[in-house]
Structure 1
Amino acid sequence: MTQTASLPTKTTCPYCGVGCGVLAALEPDGSVSIKGDPEHPANFGRLCSKGSALAETVGLEERLLYPEIGGRRAGWDEVLDLVAQNFAAAVAEHGPDSVAFYVSGQLLTEDYYVANKLMKGFIGSANIDTNSRLCMASSVAGHRRAFGSDTVPGTYEDLELADLVVLTGSNLAWCHPVLYQRLAAAKEKRPEMKVVLVDPRRTMTADIADLHLAIAPDGDVALFAGLLRYLAEKEVLQEGYIEKHTTGFNQALAAAGQLTVDEVAASTGLQPAEIETFYQLFAEHERTVTVYSQGVNQSAAGTDKVNAILNCHLATGRIGRPGMGPFSVTGQPNAMGGREVGGLANMLAAHMDLENGLHRNLVQHFWRAPRMAEKPGLKAVDMFEAVADGRIKALWIMATNPADSLPDADAVEAALKTCPFVVVSDIASETDTLRHAHVKLPSTGWGEKDGTVTNSERRISRQRAFLPAPGEARPDWWQIVEVAKRMGFAQAFAYSSPVEVFREHAGLSAHENNGARDFDIGAYAGITAPEYAALPSFQWPAPAGDARVHPPAVIPEAAAKRRLSGTHSETWRSHGTGPGSREQSSLGRDDDGRETGMPRPELRRVEGNSIRFFAAGNFYTPDRRARFLPVAPRPRAVTDAAFPFTLNTGRVRDHWHTMTRTAKSPRLSGHMAEPYAELHPADAARFGIGEAELVRVESSHGAVLVRALVSPRQRQGSVFVPMHWTDQFSARGRVDALVPPITDPHSGQPASKNVAVRLTRFEAEYYGFAVSASRPVMDGLDYWALARCTDGWRLELAHGKPLETPENLLRRLLILAPHGVEIIAYHDARQGSHRMAAFDGDRLLGALYLSRAPVAASRGFAVEQLGEPHPDPRSRYRVIAGRAGADRPDPGAIVCSCFGVGANQIAAAARGGCTSVAAIGETLQAGTNCGSCRAEIRGILEANLVVAAE
């Protein structure tokens, strides 16, 4: 009987905070197909390279499938009993603060909610923090200082409506690719739109930038404080907004001092003319959106940077209206959901404040909690310091890998080794954190779990299961609930499905709210299971009676008056909520009924399907006014004679966090298959570091050994190393081992973008490249980096001295049997070149290429040979040569992951007459799916057009 494909399941991508809608279908052969959801308002059908490859990451290879205690398989009852007993015993003997949860933006909101409830309301400690502390904590702190709440005012639509978009500390093209494509498409339609990129590196995002400001590390406060001074001097302020809706402007302006353009230039490393151009653009364009991300947040001055940006938007009244406002884009799929339920150690659920006694009492009453936390808990970095010094006796880590992602990562790993009781919930069977767990709990992964996530524009979407839970994997919320029951809290944790958790979460958001708090989804407090199953994405707030949830034909007059009364009034439509509907006039009127030009007092504006905050004030401070923060540049000199370079860490285009998911996809490893250090050519020349050689990057805390990528896009004196590589995929690539545990004093967020390091060229005796049908063994090598390919593995390697004969190295890497394997080889001892391949009949088991310089073999060709038969000597000698014949040109390094198009193919197409990115797309398909590679295509195209012209 022939099986038919299942209907697609509407779900949400598990990667960045854009929150793209996905259509996932289970095919008759058991495979999964993935498409973008054209109806989802975050992406309208677009997906990036990672989202497009989701089907390649749902396999069960290297999955944790069964609970374990001390390395042995155990049943759920046994492990849950053990976890509950150990946490309860620690609390009884040492107090509630002796235990901790470290959770993740990879959790669903329902998981996050029950974890926060158990720790803060029933164990009685606030020692629950999240890896979102490493991502967006400075943004949270800045919002709370200025707005009185952690409110993101704007929407994605604003980027398309703006006349000026400022991208600061955000490599949008690689880190939020679909949002970048929305911006690029808007700019293509309206070429007069201006884009400014503020980043030490000329990232691929610069492809659409009219102005790139290669700012010195941590120069942002000076840049935006100087902008505030400039706006005041040029009389571009919105004085009516400042007077009516804010406090503290004069103090903020005084703190900026007499920051002339020349003084800003001295603090930022920029040219005065560049700064003047940026300031003029900001002054001249009312519809301005400032997008910021990790380059702002991950700093010892991150919160001040955020407030320096907010100050400029408040001073010009550019907030809460279409096409204008500050916009924090989150790094993880549910960083926002975690913030909504109080996943941070200094917050309460439903955006309430832990330090506020009224809020604590409200939550305690709602939860009927016996033991409410009364003070902030330990933030991420402090939490692991407490693990190291013995204050934390029991630690539960959920869906994250702190042994790689936290600063001073070697110290974090050492702390885990000494902690008396470590529980880890994960989907992966091997991580650098999991290896230190006393108890391992198998969790369901994307495609198997069911719940909600919130994206960067406050849009709540469903993640839905379309695959069965494998083995004995269970949802994270279920694990937490079962432990809570065993600790004696069964009545408060009597959930049997995620809809029950979501219903309570929505109810708490509305409890005694009445417009006093920004986060309110009370419209869903009575949601039924069928309604939850069919829940479309929606943007909060959605208070009880929200017309978008249950739209009446006409809102009754009495209800409309109630909604528009008091200080928390709203703009409500009287007919529907579709894109074609119009909002009522939002202009305020004076005593004579004349329009004033200022928005009337509204909590939020509804435009199309988008909701914005603060167009007319009504912030969440006690007096409902926004706070200007007096911030001034306070440079933190980190480099010195011993460590003269500045390290910046971040993401690459096709990998995610510590690669437990993306490393499963061969095509996602095709673009960047190993860790690297991006260096300016002058810096590389200074240390004698050649292209593709190895470089040791060292701080006072640790060192990595990575490939050198020499690029004029890098700022001189700086080095960039990506964050993704771990001990599972590289010998010495854990870059967070270099980052000191220095944090922002307000947010507790680590400073991962400004680390003092030194560079040393690695003297390699030989370099190597290998392909293998089975996972190779790399013991004893100074350098290796491992990645999946379609029919096996690819390996980069190097060593500082001879280990053994080349053939013995081949046998050891590939674990070859002593007999029955045919090895053919080419050796040039004088040149130090060795090429070998091992065959079992017609099948290639693996090949190894060694050289005194970085190996020049075609990686793409060698990888393909693992899946092809080799019956004749000619095909085998081609394997040894490491390249195809003239009839099969080398595609070169992969540029377009979606279609496997290489740099050489793009260059050839350019020389053959393709003169635009669109023409390359028509010829090769490259850049026509997710579009993340278009900037790289343009670079290759322009370089080859210049060569052709010469």
Structure 2
Amino acid sequence: MARETKSTCPYCGVGCGVVIESDGDQITGVRGDPDHPANFGRLCSKGSTLHLTASAPITHQARLLHPMRRAHRGERPTRVSWDEAMGVAVETFVRTIREHGPDAVGFYLSGQLLTEDYYVFNKLAKGLIGTNNVDTNSRLCMSSAVAGYKMTLGADAPPNCYEDIDHAQCIFIAGSNTAWAHPVLFRRIEDAKAANPSLKIICCDPRRTETAGIADLYLPIQPGTDVMLLHGMLHVMLWEGWVNYAYIAAHTTGFDELKNTVRECTPDLVAQTCGIRKEDLFKATAMFATSATTLSLYCQGLNQSSSGAAKNAALINLHLATAQIGKPGAGPFSLTGQPNAMGGREVGGMANLLSAHRDLADPAHRAEVAALWGVPTVPDKPGKTAVEMFQAAADGQIKALWIACTNPAQSMPDQATVRRALERAEFVVVQEAFATTATCEFADLLLPATTWGEKTGTVTNSERRVSRVRPAIAKPGGTRHDWAIAAEFGHRLEKKLRPGLATLFPYSLADEELGAQAVWNEHRESTRGRDLDITGMSYALLDDTPLQWPMRAGESQGKARLYEDGVFPTDDGKARFANVAYRPLAEVRESRYPFSLNTGRLRDQWHGMSRTGTIGRLFGHVAEPSVQMHPQDLLRLRLADGDLVQVTSKRGSIVVPVQASGEVALSQAFIAMHWGPEFLGGCSSTGQRLAGVNALTTSAYCPSSKQPELKHAAVKIIKAELPWSLLGAAWLPDDDALRARAELQQVMRMLPFASCVPFGRDRAGVLFRAAAHEAPDDELIARIEQLLGLASPDTMRYADRRKGQRRAMRLVRHGNDAHLDAFLLAGDTSAQAWIKTLLQDELPAQSYGRMLLVPGATAPVAVAPRGKQVCTCFNVTDAEIANQLAAVAGSDDTRLAAVQSALKCGTSCGSCMPELKRMVRAVAPQDSSFAK
């Protein structure tokens, strides 16, 4: 029976409300919830395709549906019962704890878990086992923001709400490609700019992203120089008399010490260090300090740094100095990267935190938590944070690892160390919804968890708004909710570790809604009297509408903005200026590693792509892995667009195609964070597996936040001398496509370079690339052909073993013509553009016949690529947009409206609007050329 269920999107921290459409056990559609105050019905390209990533049969191929166990490393896991799985886990953890102590185990969790999941794991580790070795991938995302807020304002509490965008007169966007990382929020910025043309927007980022396109002023600072820039802005504010001394005196401390530090940050020094013009420094400072209301939006560019806490604090210093805080349209607003990183912070689900923003170092706070949980004490020794945890496992100190809802074999920096940790750990539990993640390969025990559309609980978004997550369909197979898995493990474990005592996990496992609510009520009680007090909330109230904290008992609504009265959660009620020093990058460029590598998000992909990577349409905008470099750097290195290059840091090396990009500055490079070993692989000359982009990144971290510097690594880039190449592509049935991709991942490990990605909107396609020093044996190529459906009798073939060339094509009849259904080019791939176009655009191919098999055959005039996809919703390309724009004169708004009317691009999710507007500005009437 068809039904609709309100829930929350599982992607970024905007926390958009969604309406899930389902029929029986099948999710059939999704749309934005018009009543949800985070998005008012809008969704981005990722959110609007959620139903496709949750639909069968893809779900049942990619999903982990039953507990699986490996008797020995390297073997295929076999299915076991939940009873056996739990028994093995309990027996191993008990033995490890008794032989080596509680700190010999570690839990690595995820900002995609629900608050209820987080809470039970935190209680399990700190309350029952007695270790603070519980950390999350939020350490890679938001821990510097946490440290910055606590260092200055006294608590980890973003003071703003999304409505502040509507009231701001100046928006300072620092280290955030909001247009791609938080598209729905960026739409709100676009709306604010349209409603108030006098709104000034500053974008500060080493890379000229789509976000910079909306800026009145773009500051292309050198990587890692944010603190120098922000101190320089405060220097100018002091010089020009733009600070608010009355506010400083009444509501802050520590300003005199900070003044002494920023006195040295002169405009000349700032311009030289940051690589910007002095005029732009003055202009940015004036906009920030003299606007009636200034709002800062910032994300990983400030967070993922060895100076992450300092960067966050230096920006908050500017708001305190100018009194740009505690009023509509003003304040330092950290944009959360994951859907429930905030919820994890609220329950204390990290190695240095306790429930409800309590500090682990405070004996009184530890006593409060122990009393709430009914245990004698909680451990006082700080636990291992993410990087430290895997280093400890690699060194043999942590013997057992429990990993839930995250993929460290893709997402953690310094993959060589991470993989050594996963291999050396004596017992690895991976609690996952998806069987396809790289980390699953290292698991001794795989536990199947529910995912979006099946889970029940709560999440908290960037503006402190708590929303309900509700199940639209029943749990598939033998999956269980994450909190329930942890609770049952806890039940069994406490019988061994504290027999005869009352359970620490009194939550119903039979009635999952009741059990989740009991967990949440316990968490709610832990916040009583704290800065994030939510004792006025309940599941019943949240079912009616999402609510912001704090919302104390007796209050009818939460607080939209914090610190309006100028009182802060510090001992004296005053905010503290942070006297932080500028420090260079952990790893500076030098002669052997002359390029700065930056990582970041793609518009249509999410993290390790365990969900978004299952459907081809989300690869339309960016189809394959690449490293982007400035065109002049390509010329200098004698590289051409598409050449394979070897990108090497002090930790590892990968091979990837190079792409010219005007977004990237000289001596810099960019690789999207999503390209892990599931999609980009290969092996070195010594046979070592290449592990995606994070084979390159450094685990050096901020001393305050312990967040690693994922945003910068010094690398060298040289042409990869791999003259033999291969390209294969095929349309396959859904089941076969997923199976082919899984098996091609194994093939990828046998070649110096390989990538494998899906494509297609309404059909499942697989695209496989490879390169080597010389042609591999025929058996390997035959294996690739078989996986691409080219082993049938109707396959056309050509082979020249002497030249290392091999070609295979298969045509299928469609009406009166035949279409290319699969192909493989090996040895000579020069015809790839037009042959790939024939297949992917499903053009008639019968007339080309055996010409498809001729090496070096030139492209027929009739076969031209459609261009690069801009609009995912309606599959509109840049060439189509440019042609339409060339025929329309008038203002930018008139031409934009004409394009949208003709092609519909930008009229659905709107994620393509920044790129579409850029094209409107770039393509003149009667000029169909488009400078990318």
Q: Does TM, scored on the shorter chain, surpass 0.5?
A: yes
- Work out the percentage of aligned pairs sharing the same amino acid: 40
Residue in 2 aligned with 1:494? 506
* SS of equivalent to 2:755: strand
Residue equivalent to 2:667: 717
Instruction: Give, in angstroms, the shift of residue 318 of structure 1.
Output: 0.9
Superposed CA deviations along residues 673-732 of structure 1, whole A, max 9, x for unmatched, are: 221111001111111111122221110101111121101211111111111122222224
Hey, what does 1:520 align to over in structure 2? Answer: 533
Question: Where do residues 203-282 of structure 1 align in structure 2 (5 Å cutoff)?
Answer: 203-282=209-288
Q: Which residue of 2 aligns with 1:740?
A: 698
**CA shift for structure 1 position 142:** 0.9
- Aligned pairs for 1:399-798 (under 5 A) are 399-488=405-494, 491-496=503-508, 497=512, 499-510=514-525, 513-514=528-529, 517-524=530-537, 527=538, 531=540, 534-548=543-557, 611-636=560-585, 638-732=588-682, 734-772=692-730, 773=732, 774=736, 775=740, 777=744, 778-779=747-748, 780-790=750-760, 791-798=763-770
**Deviations along 1:387-411, whole A, 9 cap, x unmatched?**
1111111110000011111111121
Residue 907 of structure 1 corresponds to which residue in structure 2?
882
Shift of residue 485, structure 1, vs aligned partner: 0.3
Contact 2:119–2:523 at 8 Å: present in 1 too?
A: no
Change (3 A) 1:710 1:500: same
Q: Does 1:898 align with 2:898?
A: no
Match of 2:904 among 915, 925, 943: 925
Summarize deviations over 1:637-682 as a string: whole Å, max 9, x none: 6111111111111111111111100011211011112211110011
Q: Is the 8 A contact 2:834 2:863 kept in 1?
A: no
SS in 1 for 2:454: coil
Instruction: Tell me the distance in 1 between the aligned counterparts of 2:163 and 2:243.
Output: 25
Q: Any idea what the Cα deviations from partners look like across 1:312-334, whole Å, max 9, x if unmatched? A: 10111111210000010011000
CA distance in 2, matches of 1:895, 1:949: 16
SS at match of 1:753: coil
AA at the equivalent of 1:642: R
Partner of 1:288: 294
Q: Distance in 1 between matches of 2:523 and 2:550?
A: 13
Q: For residues 280 and 345 of structure 1, what CA distance do their matches in structure 2 show? A: 41
* Gaps in structure 1 of 5+ consecutive residues: 550-605
Change (3 A) 1:57 1:143: same
Residue 837 of structure 1 aligns with an amino acid whose one-letter code is M
Q: Distance in 2 between matches of 1:363 and 1:853?
A: 65
Cα distance between partner residues in 2 of 1:48 and 1:941: 21
Mapped to 2, the partners of 1:177 and 1:287 lie a distance apart of: 23
Partners of 1:878 and 1:34 lie apart in 2 by 44
Please give the secondary structure, in 1, of the residue aligned with 2:279: helix
Paired residue type of 1:658: G
How far does the alpha carbon of each residue in 1:546-585 deviate from its partner, in whole angstroms, 9 at most, with x for none?
1228xxxxxxxxxxxxxxxxxxxxxxxxxxxxxxxxxxxx
**Deviation (angstroms), 1:853:** 4.9
Which amino acid letter does the alignment assign opposite residue 788 of structure 1? Answer: P
Q: 1:877 to 1:222 in 2, by over 3 A?
A: same
Q: Which amino acid aligns with 2:12?
A: C
1:352-391 map, 5 Å: 352-391=358-397
Offset at 1:782? 2.8
* Structure 1 residue aligned with 2:687: none
Measured against aligned partners, the alpha-carbon deviations of 1:55-103 in whole angstroms (never above 9, x if no partner) come to: 1111222211110121111101111122122212222221111111000
Change (3 A) 1:326 1:764: same
Q: Deviations over 1:839-896 (max 9, x none)?
A: 577786511245455832364541254xx9x8x9437679779999888864222211
Contact kept, 8 Å, 1:673 with 1:786, in 2: the verdict is no
Secondary structure at the aligned position of 2:132 is classed as: coil
Pick from 936, 941, 945: which aligns with 2:915? 936
The corresponding residue for 1:37 is 33
SS of equivalent residue, structure 2 residue 147: helix
Are the equivalent residues in 2 in contact too, given 1:695–1:708 (CA < 8 A)? yes
Which of 155, 161, 169 is the matching residue for 2:167? 161
Deviation string 1:757-806 (CA, Å, 9 cap, x unpaired) is 00011234244432222426445433222222343333242323341699
Contact 1:692/1:854 (<8 A) preserved: no
CA distance in 1, matches of 2:884, 2:779: 40
**2:17 is aligned with what amino acid?**
G
Secondary structure at the aligned position of 1:338 is classed as helix
Report the Cα distance in structure 1 between the residues aligned to 2:469 and 2:231, rounded to whole angstroms: 41
Q: Quick check: 2:507–2:516 contact (8 Å CA) kept in 1?
A: yes
Q: How far apart are residue 189 of structure 1 and its match?
A: 1.4
Call closer, same or farther: CA 1:931–1:236 in 2, change over 3 Å: same
Alignment of structure 1 residues 803-842 onto 2, 5 Å: 803=775, 809=781, 812-815=784-787, 820-824=792-796, 836-839=808-811
What residue in structure 2 maps to residue 566 of structure 1? none
Q: In structure 2, the residue corresponding to 1:668 is in which secondary structure?
A: helix
Q: Which residue, out of 18, 26, 31, partners 1:22?
A: 18
Moved more, 252-261 or 353-362: 252-261
Pair 1:874-2:862 in alignment: no
Moved more, 478-487 or 887-896: 887-896
Structure 1 residue corresponding to 2:204, chosen from 198, 201, 205 = 198
| Distance in 1 (alpha carbons) for counterparts of 2:46 and 2:527 | 42
State the shift of 1:823 in Å. Answer: 2.6
Corresponding residue SS for 2:605: coil
Equivalences for 1:80-119 in 2 at 5 Å?
80-119=86-125
Call closer, same or farther: CA 1:878–1:286 in 2, change over 3 Å. Answer: farther
Root-mean-square deviation (Å) = 2.7
Distance 1:506 1:152 in 2: 23
Equivalent residues of 1:499, 1:532 under 8 A apart: no
Decide whether aligned partners of structure 1 residues 371 and 80 sit closer, same or farther in structure 2, where only a CA change above 3 A counts.
farther
Which moves more between the two structures, 171-180 or 152-161? 152-161
Instruction: Please name the residue that 2:824 is paired with.
Output: 848
Give the secondary structure class of the aligned counterpart of 1:522. coil
User: TM-score if structure 1 supplies the norm length?
Assistant: 0.88
Q: 1:808 and 1:128 mapped to 2: Cα distance?
A: 43
Give the conservation status (yes or no) of the 8 Å contact 1:858–1:890.
Answer: no
Q: Give ranges in structure 2 of 5+ residues lacking alignment.
A: 71-76, 496-501, 683-690
Residues 787-831 of structure 1, C-alpha deviations (whole Å, 9 max, x = no match): 223433332423233416999836633348897522335799999
- Is the Cα contact below 8 Å between 2:822 and 2:839 reproduced in 1? no
Deviates more, 1:25-34 or 1:808-817: 808-817
Q: How many residues align?
A: 876
Inter-CA distance 920–836: structure 2 relative to 1 (3 Å threshold) = farther
1:139 Cα shift?
Answer: 0.6
Q: 1:659 to 1:190 in 2, by over 3 A?
A: same
Secondary structure in structure 1 of the residue aligned to 2:351: coil
Q: Give the aligned partner of residue 63 of structure 2.
A: 63
**2:886–2:925 Cα contact (<8 Å) kept:** no
CA contact (8 A) 2:885 2:928 kept: no
Aligned to 1:307: 313
Amino acid corresponding to residue 300 of structure 1 in structure 2: S
2: distance between equivalents of 1:853 and 1:758? 28
Work out the CA distance in 1 between the residues paired with 2:395 and 2:516.
36
